[in-house]
Amino acid sequence: MNNYSTRINNIIDNLKMTDGMDESKEIIKARFVDEVNYYEKKRDKTKKYYNVFRFIVTTGSILLPALLSIGQMDPNKLPKNFDQISYWSTWSISLMVTISNGFLQLFSLDKNFFSYSLVVEQLKTEGWQYFGLSGKYEEYDNHNREAYKDFCKAVENIKRKQVEQEFQGKGNNTKKKGISNKSPLLEFDFDGQMKSFMEKSKNNDMFKPLVDTVNTVSNLNDLKDNITDNLTETITDNFKSNLTDNLKDTVDQTISETTTGLKNNLSTSISDVENNLSTSISDVENNLKKLDNSKPIIPLDDTDRDSNQ
């Protein structure tokens, strides 16, 4: 018997339970304490194998690349028969890593270790809350029959969930005949129940203020929705109209300014070209006049005329 069992048995023996419930202490010891001890043993056993195999996998994964990298060195610098030693060493390490990883996956040691640890802690937490009347049991003043029933139910729920998870089963699905497996919330006809309630309320003066209030609120909600829709449509139409007018005025103004600017620039350019052309023509005429005035006229005498003949 471990330390936890000794301490918890002393606490159970000293519990002050209501009259006629002394046999419940033995039931708690036989079920609750035994379950905690059972899962603690399974957790510790699984933890031992899990840690061993994980150590082999982790260590082998580190040593294997190191040995392979050493084999890439110059053979003259390596010890004698190092190639054979490294070959069998890497082969052995690879085999051990593969086997260890296979055992981890085959027996689900990691999953079982975490699952058993979680169940042990859940059971211990549930027990301490019951013994101290805290948590879900704080509404009870003593360890009466109702608190005892809730505690037993919680322990069995934890046990059932663990069994379902461990064996991949669905637990005890046995149902009484005529009882559906669907959730009661899914089968609840809210609309039908509401209509029935409202019909009964109309014939009962006690619910008349409530019915009137519900109708008033419903009408107010409809009015609010109508006002919201009208405002939205009005604001949208006004915004579209204003935006269209503003864009049209802006485009017309821009086109008018651009056209006027182009006309002014074109008129200015034509005037500049005419002025430049007139100036150029005047300069050419003046140059021609100067050229004609500066050319001398030499008359031919008779001697030259005879010689030319």
User: What's the pLDDT at 1?
Assistant: 58
Which pairs with CB-CB distance under 8 Å and at least 24 residues apart come from 17-24?
Answer: 17/142, 17/143, 17/144, 17/148, 18/142, 18/143, 18/144, 18/145, 21/143, 21/144, 21/145, 21/148, 24/148
Q: What's the pTM? A: 0.49
User: What's the pLDDT at 227?
Assistant: 85
Mean pLDDT, contiguous 10-residue spans, the chain (309 residues): 79 81 86 92 93 94 86 73 83 93 91 92 92 90 89 93 77 48 56 66 57 66 79 81 79 81 81 82 80 58 50
Helix 145-167 with 34-70: angle, nearest 10 deg:
30
Domain boundaries of the chain, sorted by first residue: 3-170, 246-295
